[in-house]
Structure 1
Amino acid sequence: MRIFTKLSAPLCLLFVFFCLKTAFSSSIHASSFSTTHLCSHEEALALLQFKTSFSIDYTVWENYCGQNYSKMESWKEGIDCCSWDGVSCDNVTGHVIALNLSCSFLYGTFRSNSTLFFLKNLQSLNLSWNDFRHSKIPSEISQFTRLKHLDVSFSQFSGQVPEEIAHLPKLVSLNLSSSDFYDDSLELILETTTFKNLVHNLSEVRELVLGGVNMASANPRFFMNLSSSLTTLDLSNSVLRGNFPNSIFRFPNLKNFFLSGSENLTIDLPSSNWSSPLQQLYLHDMDCGRRLPESIGDLKSLQSLSLVYNNFRGQIPSSLANLTQLTSLSLSNNQFSGVLPPWIFTLPLLEDLYPNHNKFQGQINQFSQKSLIHLDLSNNKLQGSIPNSIANLVNLSYLDLSSNHFSDFVELDMFLALQNLETIILSSNNLSLRMNVDANFTLPKLTDVFLSSCNLSEFPNFLRHSNGLQSLVLSKNSIHGNIPEWICEKDDLKILDLSHNNLIGKIPNRLPKFLSVLNLQANYFDGNIPFGFPEGCGLQNLNLHGNQMEGLLPRSLVNCSMLEVLDVGNNNISDTFPHWLESLPDLQVLVLRSNKFHGFVQSTKESPSFPKLRVLDLSSNDFRGPLPVRYIENFKAMMDIYRDEGSPEYMNIGSYQYSLVVTLKGFDYELQRILTIFSSIHLSNNMFEGEIPDVIGKLSSLKGLNLSHNNLTRHIPPSLGTLTDLEWLDLSSNELVGKIPDELGNQFNTFGNGSYEGNNGLCGIPLSKSCDGIGTPPSFFQEKDEFWRFGWRVVVLGYGCGVFVGLEMGYHVFRAGKPKWFVSLFDGRPSQSGRKMRKARRLVQRRS
């Protein structure tokens, strides 16, 4: 027993050693096996060579990818390629079968001889969210005969989609979404032949995503030949034309259908037999008929329904009440009318409700559910009180009730329970907000506050504690006093609009450092403009119009390299022309009108200046010398503005729209929004002299030109006749001579005498003074000369175009007997009108 005990220990150790050796040998064997079978040398080398064909640029889609790490960083020689990020291998053969390089910051040209095509066994390839610099999708992609999943979306591919892509018969999902369908150079094009073959050959496809791909030449009827196994079809912004077959709604497995951005496409929604599995249905910006059929209530599985910009009219179908699985309902930008039905506020799972921009009227019902997260009722005709049950929406993050007819007093503590609220927009109603709330009251997540025209007389004190505030818009109220210190301490603040109030004093030297918009127009601020705009200043819009600012325009504005709008009109600023603004690459609007600027307007640089400038207003100052030819010949943005055939676009930051004061025949108008195609030059009431330069005729996108009340001489250049987009013209009160050029026909004939009066040396149509000494017959414009002097000529200027005058004049009311379309920004502001009178007096004295 003792001997056994002595021997047993070594035997046990020997046994343990044997076991360990066996295990180690097995491990070595397994390792050898895996090296041999889990990553072939050829495929690893192909991947490494593929890696070297691109650079890594972390600015590529950095705002979308949410990371700063490229999967290729783990691709290193000597390491099993099957362990590299984004690489998957077959467990038996070791071949690379899947490659996911989404958001890998790849930058460079994708070549047709890429070593990627050596991976013959690929079943899944994802190259989305990279930048292949306008490369074409290589036709060699057909070599991936086993490919089931292909995603090349948002990777800057362009040109024709290769026909060979239709020769991938095993494809189950295909995503070709284009990265920028507004830019033709980044456009993927799917032609009819390729599309027809694609539909015919892909018999197994279940997900087909073609968002942003130009399919203008493709025949929509081929969609009816798609596989019946289809579950997802995305045709967002695909520019389709013709009639889309509504048989798509009867596909037995279709769950997700997206169709938008095809203005020339019509689709008849079925009156019965919809595809019952549908869970997401998006129909945007097309002709779907005027009425939404009751049959849509048959889609009992529907979770998201979005019907935007479709010109639907009438009432919402009552059958929508059957869609109890809905979590999102968007009916915005149609012509729906009537009252909002009570059931819309009772859908049990509804989180997002957008019936905005319609013609709904009447009062809204009390809310009986608590699931809403986003609620937008803006731009309707809703009236009455805001229901107090809104305080029960404890999950609410976004609330927009603006531009309605809601009335009554609103206690701000109504929103006290909405602790998840991030955005509140109550602007442009008939509300009067009361401030009877505890000073310690706060909404901790609040980031965006829009309370324009809410009859506020003081700053909402509860915002003092909202540390995450990013947008604060309190315009068109009756707030008085100074800007409080706590606003200047809101360093997350990006948009600050306190315009059209009764604020006084100096503009604080210390402003929130991340401001993008500072709008203080139409107040009573005085003193100098703060000089401390730091390097890296992020201002995009600085509007100080209509105050009492003095001194110089601060040179530190050159540090605001992102500045798009600078408006310091109607102040007392005394300075020379700020030629140093030429260094601002994005400046689009420059307004210096009605100040004490003086001297010559000339460039100090040989290189092009102000290439993006679209609006220039130097009127009512003391500028002299010739018109600024060197600047004018470099106004590239006024020469050829891109015109999108779709909906009009406006200058904005997010949901905040830029505004602008313009002058027509002595009347001031505030444009509530600035069209991106709007351009004008206003140089009137100065002492410019010499001739009108021919180069103005190259500004083919000009909407307005005012050179009146200067000392301009010689003839009107015939080149002005090329300004076919011009909607108003004023050359009056100069020293122009000779015959009005025949080239100034067409819409120029609508400008009448008023555009040329005060030039005694001018003759010819449309003036009553002929150039041969014989009077011309009186025209409508000449007979109504007194009528025109009153200012009504603006109404009919350029009536053939009318985009600006007809649509963008803001609001129009009767006031003090003036024409109903006239609104002076400074009505009822004696300090401003007094300054205008003094300036007019100076002009008269100067000319006499």
Structure 2
Amino acid sequence: MFHSCSERKIRILSLYLILSLSSSILVLASRVRHLCRPDQKDALWEFKREFYVHSNGIAADKKTEMWKNKTDCCSWDGVSCNPKTGQVVELLLRDSSLNGPLRSNSSLFRLQHLRSLDLSANNISGILPDSIGNLKYLRVLSLGDCNFFGNITSSLGNLSYLTNLDLSTNGFTGELPDSMGNLNQLSELHLKSNKLSGNFPSMLLNLSELTLIDFGFNQFEGMLPSNMSRFSNLVSFLMVGNSFSGSIPSSLFMLPSLGVLTLGRNEFSGPLDFGNITTQSSLGILSLLENNFNGPIPRSISKLVGLFYLDLSLWNTGRGVVDFSIFLHLKSLYFLDLSYLNTRSMVDISIFSPLMSLGYLDLSGINLKISSTLHFPPPLEILVLSSCNIAEFPKFLRKKAILYYLDISANQIKGQVPEWLWRLPELQYVNISQNSFHGFEGSVDVIQRSGKLILLDISSNNFQDPFPLLPNSTKFFLGSDNRYSGEIPRTICKLVSLDTLVLSNNNFNGSIPRCFENLNTTLSVLHLRDNSLSGTFPKESISDNLRSLDVGGNWLSGKLPESLINCTRLEFLNVEDNRINGTFPLWLRLLPNLQILVLRSNEFHGPIFSPTESLNFPKLRIFDISENRFTGVLPIDYFTGWSAMSSFVDVVEHIPDRYAGRDSGNYHNSVTMTAKGLKMELVGSGYTIYKTIDVSGNRFEGEIPESIALLKELIVLNMSNNVFKGRIPSSLSNLTNLQSLDLSRNRLSGEIPSELGKLTFLAWMNFSYNKLEGPIPQGTQFQSQDTSSFAENPGLCGVPLQETCGGKEEATNQEEDEDEEKEDKDQVFSWIAAVIGYVPGLVCGFTIAHILTSYKRDWFLKLFRSFC
């Protein structure tokens, strides 16, 4: 009995040990199986070494820098493996600061079992290689927000398992490859913000699994297919910002699964047909803004009862009457934008009272009736009533406790801003510009007590002293075009978060406050133009964060503060119409983002170049140094580094969207320029169009530099009122975009180059008061000019002047001159090559000269002939 009991215990203990050992072995084996295979590890490690990691000082998750060669690669950041095979199946390196091209022989393509690949938000440039199609098991491919360009490779059609493809925010061009019609598992297609073109890709109609298509902000055109019903599972269709035209197929609105439809900023036209919409429609977001629709808004829109976002802004009703009651059936509406419908209707805003979910309402451009006793229950958060012919401040706002954005600009409201406005607990953004307000109710600190205010735009009113005290939360203050006087209040310097300060066109005097140095890390926009400010520009007041500085039209003196050299973000610099003196600030070339430079009408003097330093302005688009006392000869290569004027550069100015005041403030840069003999003001987006050089009204001498012919994007060129001499370079004919040319009041001689007659955009020109001679070039652009454009050139002849050109002898002379001009032109086009070969050519030149003047001259000539 004892033995049997002991044996039983021993057997149980043995079984326990066996099970424990087996479990340990299984655990160890499992761990071994989880280890990444050596070939996969090698491929990952080589892939890491193909890129360099750099984040430009921006915080980023540098995953590959955490990889260690002696550790299990399946545990590396961004890497996941198949636990059974050890093969890498996921590589997720979004925003990992990878820099460099994705090569066609990249080790990445040895990871043959990848199912998810995310390299988005990295600086991976170049063409997407065909090798991407070798990753045949991919389900998810995310390459958005990189720097790929060129055509999308057709090899993507090999990825038959792909369900999600994201190539958005790149530089892809051309049409989509037909092979993408093979991706019959594809569910989401993200292609927004590229430069893709062509008609809507019809092969996509075969992809019945698609739930999302995003082609926003591309260059697609033509009509949408009529049989959109084939997208039976489509939930989101995003086509904003293209050039699609024609009518919108009604089959699109009848897709029962469709929830999001954005077709804004296209060229769709005609009346809109919603088709036979059923109450089962899932459409929640509909955006049709800025198209070419005309006629009445279809009443059938009232059947889209699930809508909570509706944007029909800029619909052209042809000054017809709009029945706004059709929107009252949309009980779920939160966002409603009906701005600028081009209607003659007078609308009582109370008609929208039944929309109890309405939080965003924009009725700008519509004549509104607002009763002083109006009860408006919708819980408004954003209200935009710009240009609505409102004559009184809307009193119903008094009870809007959650209102945080109010725009009642460009109306006819007079008197004082009510004190109760600043008691609204959530109010952060207020735009009351372009009215006739003259003050604020309550004490001077009434606004300061509002607490949460971020933006206040009171520009273009009749406000006058006292200047309001602003809360410390203020980031954007725009108070231009009012009647404020005295010194700029030093209390502004206490706004430690201030980003934008615009006080132009007032009556401020005194000096620029030195206390602006308190805003050194925040202030990015400082506009003080057209006041009566005097004294020097204190270097302490320059914020290193400045992006736009305008102090034109004051009485400032002294030198331009060299502390601007620290403003590496500076794009716009305008100091025109002051008394600033000193030599040309050559250090401006160190500002990498400078686009607009206006030094006009000051007391600058001396040369504008240094013999030891090149003057490269790679992003400069407007260069106006007119009406100063600059002197000297401009070097032949002066304009060689001005890239933005030499070729098309897509430059974006920081101009806010209609409602982007929450992010950047509602300011617009403006500058006055002389074009076609007239002064004109450029505001906002005008800067993306004009490329201008104006050096008029100085004392420059010598010949016009040949390198100006490199500036092929130049639109306005004004070199008048100087002492330029010599011939007009025939190479100016390279400036094919030139619209305005002024070379008047110089000492130019010879003939006007006939090649300039080829400049088809040249609408205005002035060659008067020179020493030019010979026939005026033929061509419509020249013949259509007024005679004053050629006045005081005694030797000029031909239309439009009354002086006729001579006969045969003059024709012969003209031919000889043309031959000379041709020879000069050849020399012009060779100057760049001459510069490139300057150093070796100089050595060779001296060597040849020495030989030719030495006793070995005959020997050298024989040697030269033998080579010829």
TM-score bucket (shorter structure): 0.7 to 0.9
Name the aligned partner's letter for residue 170 of structure 1. Y
Q: Distance in 1 between matches of 2:399 and 2:276?
A: 30
- Work out which of the residue numbers 491, 495, 507 in structure 2 matches 1:490: 495
Q: 1:426 aligns with which of 432, 440, 443?
A: 432
1:718 is the counterpart of 2:700: no
Secondary structure of the 1:233 match is strand
In structure 1, the residue matched to 2:31 is: 35
Amino acid at match of 2:746: N
Instruction: Pick from 433, 436, 446 the counterpart of residue 439 of structure 1.
Output: 446
Matched, 1:156 2:147: yes
Aligned match of 1:507: 512
Structure 2 residue aligned with 1:303: 284
Give the 3 Å change call, closer, same or farther, for CA 19–33 of structure 1 in structure 2: same
Pairing partner for 1:681 from 693, 697, 721? 693
Change (3 A) 1:711 1:247: same
Q: In the alignment, does 2:355 pair up with 1:365?
A: no
CA displacement at 1:477 relative to structure 2: 1.7
Secondary structure, in 3 states, of the residue corresponding to 2:581?
coil
State the secondary structure of the residue aligned to 2:697: coil
Counterpart for residue 591 of structure 2: 584
Q: Output aligned runs, 1:114-263, within 5 Å.
A: 114-117=106-109, 119-134=111-126, 136-139=128-131, 141-145=133-137, 147-177=138-168, 179-181=169-171, 187=172, 191=176, 195-199=177-181, 201-212=182-193, 215-216=196-197, 220-227=201-208, 229-249=209-229, 251-263=231-243
Q: In the alignment, which residue of structure 1 is the partner of 2:668?
A: 657
Counterpart CA distance in 2 for 1:414 and 1:343 is 34
* TM-aligned CA deviation for residue 527 of structure 1: 0.9
Deviation at 1:426, TM superposition (A): 3.4
After superposition, the CA RMSD in angstroms is 4.1
| Partner deviation per Cα, 1:652-676 (whole Å, 9 max, x = no partner) | 4755432112245886543222322
Structure-1 separation of matches of 2:343 and 2:463: 27
- Bigger drift between 419-428 and 263-272 goes to 263-272
Determine helix, strand or coil for the equivalent of 1:284. Answer: coil
Contact 2:476 2:500 (C-alpha < 8 Å) held by counterparts: yes
Q: Structure 1, residues 509-560: CA drift from partner, whole Å, max 9, x if none?
A: 12121222211000111111112266x8122221111011112222222222
What is the match of residue 292 of structure 1? 272
Change (3 A) 1:315 1:235: same
Aligned to 1:407: 413
SS in 2 for 1:45: helix
* CA contact 1:39–1:94 (8 Å) conserved in 2: yes
Does the Cα contact within 8 Å between 1:340 and 1:360 map onto a contact in 2?
A: no
1:173–1:206 CA contact under 8 A, matched in 2:
yes
Look up the equivalent residue of 1:274 and give its one-letter code.
Answer: M
- 2:544 paired residue among 524, 537, 546: 537
Distance 1:666 1:243, change over 3 A: closer
State how far apart, in whole Å, the 2-side matches of 1:305 and 1:233 are. 15
Secondary structure at the counterpart of residue 292 of structure 2: coil
Using the TM superposition, name which of 332-341 and 540-549 deviates more.
332-341
Q: CA deviation at 1:399?
A: 4.0
Secondary structure in 1 matching 2:549: strand
Question: Residue 254 of structure 1: CA displacement?
Answer: 1.1
User: Secondary structure, in 3 states, of the residue corresponding to 1:496?
Assistant: strand
Q: Show the counterpart of 1:811.
A: none
Counterpart Cα distance in 2 of 1:161 and 1:274: 32
Q: Secondary structure, in 3 states, of the residue corresponding to 2:577?
A: coil
The CA deviation string for residues 672-708 of structure 1, in whole angstroms up to 9 with x for no partner, is 2232231222233333334434443443322223333
Query: How far apart, CA to CA, are the structure 2 residues paired with 1:260 and 1:749?
Result: 32
Deviation at 1:26, TM superposition (A): 6.9
- In the TM superposition, residue 769 of structure 1 has moved relative to its aligned partner by 7.6
Q: Distance in 1 between matches of 2:129 and 2:426?
A: 45
In 2: Cα distance, 1:266 partner to 1:50 partner: 51
Answer yes or no: is the 8 Å Cα contact 2:205–2:231 preserved in 1.
Answer: no
Q: Which residue type is aligned with residue 476 of structure 2?
A: S
Report the Cα offset of residue 504 of structure 1.
1.4
Whole-angstrom CA distance in 1 between matches of 2:151 and 2:797: 64
What aligned pairs does 1:280-429 form with structure 2 within 5 A after superposition? 280-295=260-275, 300-332=281-313, 335=316, 341=324, 348-356=331-339, 359=342, 362=346, 365-366=349-350, 368=353, 381-384=387-390, 385=392, 387-402=394-409, 404-409=410-415, 411-413=417-419, 415-416=421-422, 418-429=424-435
The answer on 1:700 being equivalent to 2:746 is no
CA contact (8 A) 2:288 2:313 kept: yes
Contact 2:768 2:791 in 1 (8 A): no
Equivalent residue letter for 2:564: L
Comparing 99-108 and 334-343, the one that deviates more: 334-343
Letter in 2 for 1:173: N
Task: Report deviation, 1:320.
Answer: 3.4
TM-score (norm 2): 0.75
Q: Could you tell me which of 65, 68, 80 is aligned with 2:60?
A: 68
Q: Which runs of 5+ in 1 are unaligned?
A: 1-13, 182-186, 780-848
**Per the alignment, in what secondary structure is the counterpart of residue 178 of structure 2?**
helix
Take 2:297 and 2:413, find their aligned partners in 1: how far apart are those partners? 25
Q: CA deviation at 1:773?
A: 8.8
Contact 1:220 1:242 in 2 (8 A): no
Which secondary structure does the structure 2 equivalent of 1:416 belong to? helix
The CA deviation at 1:712 is 3.6
Residue among 517, 525, 549 paired with 2:533? 525
The letter of the residue matching 2:389 is Q
Give the aligned residue type for 1:365. Answer: I
Please list, as runs of the form range in 1=range in 2, the aligned pairs for 1:448-459 lying within 5 A after superposition: 448-458=455-465
Deviations along 1:220-277, one digit per CA (max 9) or x if unpaired, are 22232222x3211222234334432132256322111112443266553317861122
1:122–1:482 CA distance, 2 compared to 1 (3 A): same
3-state SS in 1 of match to 2:124: coil
Aligned partner letter, 1:327 = F
Cα deviation for residue 354 of structure 1 reads 4.1
CA contact (8 A) 1:294 1:318 kept: no
Count of aligned pairs between the two proteins: 742
Return the letter of the residue paired with 2:179. N
Identical amino acids, percent of aligned pairs: 33
Cα 1:339–1:78 change in 2 (3 A) is same
TM-score (norm 1): 0.76
In structure 2, the CA distance between the partners of 1:76 and 1:612, relative to structure 1 (3 Å rule), is closer
Greater Cα offset, 567-576 or 265-274 = 265-274
Tell me if the contact between 1:139 and 1:165 (Cα under 8 Å) persists in the aligned partners: no
Q: Is the 1:246–1:267 contact (alpha carbons within 8 Å) kept by the matching residues of 2?
A: no
Aligned equivalents of 1:118, 1:632: Cα separation in 2: 49
Equivalent residues of 1:392, 1:417 under 8 A apart: no
User: What is the CA–CA distance in structure 1 between the aligned matches of 2:40 and 2:798, rounded to whole Å?
Assistant: 90
> Which moves more between the two structures, 248-257 or 666-675?
666-675
Residues 702-750 of structure 1 deviation map (CA, whole Å, 9 limit, x = unaligned) = 2223333333444444344443433333333334445444334366998
SS in structure 1 at match of 2:631? strand
Cα pair distance change 1:690/1:607, threshold 3 Å: closer
Query: CA 1:144–1:313 in 2, change beyond 3 Å: closer, same or farther?
Result: same
Determine the structure 2 residue equivalent to 1:845.
Answer: none
